[in-house]
A = this chain, B = another copy of it.
Amino acid sequence: MTQKQEQLSKNQQIVLSIIEKAKGPLKAYSILYNVQKKGIKAPLQVYRALEKLIEIGKIHKIESKNAFIVCKNSDCEISKATAFSICEKCEVVDEVSNVKLSNYLSKFNDKKGMKFKRFNLEFFGLCKRCKIK
C-alpha cells in the first residue's frame, strides 16, 4: 500500500474541508470568512491553498462563477478533463462524469495542429427541479 496520498498542509486541509462540506461551489472570500475562526486571516492564504488543491485535483474552479467545488471523481485523476452542468436559475452546479464525453474531448484535435492537454467544459441550462417550476 503505497503512500500515494498527497499530504496536505494545515491551511490546505482547512480550506478543503470547508469546500467538501459545502453543497455547492464556494467563492474565495466566502471561504475566507468561514475559516477566520481557524486562524486563516488573509486572502492570500486561501488563494494559495486553492491553487494547490486545484493542482492536485482535489477541487476545481468553476470559471464562469469564480467559485470552487470539490472534485467528485475519486480525487480526479481526470482533473485535466473537467465538465460541469450549471443551472442558470438555482445556480446548482454538478460535475459531469461521462466517460464517452471525456474520451471524445480528450481525443479531439484541432484543425490547426494544436494538441490539447486539458479542457474545461461548462454546460448551462435548467436543472430538473427548475424546469418543472
- Interface residues of chain A, those whose CB is within 8 Å of chain B, are 63-64, 85, 87-88, 94, 96, 98, 101, 104-105, 108, 110-128, 131
On whether the beta carbons of B126 and A112 are closer than 8 Å, the reply is no
Return chain B residues, CB-CB under 8 Å to A117.
Answer: 88, 124-126
On whether the beta carbons of B115 and A125 are closer than 8 Å, the reply is yes
Number of copies: 2
Cβ contacts A to B, 25 pairs, < 8 Å: A63-B64, A63-B122, A85-B112, A85-B114, A94-B112, A94-B114, A105-B121, A105-B123, A108-B123, A110-B123, A112-B127, A113-B128, A114-B125, A114-B126, A114-B127, A114-B128, A117-B124, A118-B124, A119-B121, A119-B122, A119-B123, A120-B122, A120-B124, A121-B121, A121-B122
Output the nearest chain B residue to A108 by Cβ-Cβ distance.
B101
Output the nearest chain B residue to A111 by Cβ-Cβ distance.
B98
Output the nearest chain B residue to A104 by Cβ-Cβ distance.
B104
* Nearest 3 pairs of A and B residues by beta carbon: A63-B63, A116-B125, A113-B128
